[in-house]
Structure 1
Amino acid sequence: MPMDLKDKQTEKNKHFIASLEFALQGIKTVFKEERNMRTHVLMGILAVVIGFVFRLSIAEWLWLLLAIFLVLVVEIINTVFENVVDMFTDFHFHPIGKKIKDMAAGAVLLTSGFAVIVGLLLFVPKIWQIIKDFL
């Protein structure tokens, strides 16, 4: 099979393992190419470590993990929009492309704000209690 035909995926993945490999490659690509994704992952890891330190309840873990994974998923979607706009505009400015990128970035901002609120609601009372106990 010629190389250019192998590179063009034209039919649906028929095997779960192949689909999984493509999905993992997508996550690896966004992690490697997007500084914000690496920042979100590091902040998520930090939040999980703090969660273990404070021995979160199951309900608290669910909120924390929901917030972390929402940020990661929305960052991936934002990156998809950025790449699609760049592909269609050939990296030239277009006002509609700018609107699309701005809206996708806004979605990341809102989701990150949600994650910060969840983190504050989970951790501030626990930190406050430690401060009160210390004083």
Structure 2
Amino acid sequence: MNKLWKSFSYAFKGLAYAYRTQLNLRIHLVITAITLLLGWYLNLTANEWLWILLCITIVLSAELLNTSIETLTDMVSPGYHEKAGHVKDIAAAAVTITAVFAVITGCLIFIPKLILLFHAA
């Protein structure tokens, strides 16, 4: 049990490091909070919540993986190296792809509900 607790503590330590050092992660977390509040306000269905939570999970996971790849790349290639730049760019592209998927999914779920809300008012 002690080993399990240690593994979780390392994970939370990594999350705290990423939160402290990565502006984009903090931005994603603010957007996550807004999305969760809007979903609660609009009374999403269970299926809609699953899609929203999936999007949040993949975007945050991609951002954390991007942070780890950037950190490792900076460690092994402290000076400029073209291939190191490509590695970092590709990792950032992965985050962008997941974020675009999340935005599209959010639009498909939230826009019809917001239109109905404003038409009812």
Pair in the same fold by TM > 0.5: yes
Runs of 4 or more, structure 1, over 6 Å off, are none
Give the whole-Å Cα distance in 2 for the aligned partners of 1:95 and 1:51: 43
For 1:74, the equivalent position in structure 2 comes to 62
> Which residue number corresponds to residue 41 of structure 2?
53
- What's the Cα RMSD here? 1.0
Give the TM-score normalised by structure 1.
0.86
TM-score, normalisation: structure 2: 0.96
In structure 1, the residue matched to 2:71 is: 83
Find the partner of 2:23 among 19, 32, 35: 35
Identity %: 33
Distance in 2, Cα, partners of 1:83 & 1:131? 45
Q: Which has the higher contact order (CA 8 A, sep 6+)?
A: 2
Q: Which residue of 2 aligns with 1:11?
A: none
Gapped runs of 5+ residues in structure 2?
A: none
Work out whether 1:116 is the aligned partner of 2:100: no
Structure with the largest fraction of helix: 2
Number of aligned residue pairs: give it: 120
**Which structure's CA Rg is the greater one?**
1
AA at the equivalent of 2:43: R
1:4-41: CA deviations, max 9, x gaps? xxxxxxxxxx7101111001100111011100000001
Query: Which AA in structure 1 matches 2:116?
Result: Q
Letter of the 1:121 counterpart: L
In 1, distance between residues paired with 2:57 and 2:20?
Answer: 18
Q: Which runs of 5+ in 1 are unaligned?
A: 1-13
Number of the residue aligned with 1:4: none
User: What is the distance in 1 between the residues matched to 2:98 and 2:42?
Assistant: 24
2:44 match: secondary structure: coil
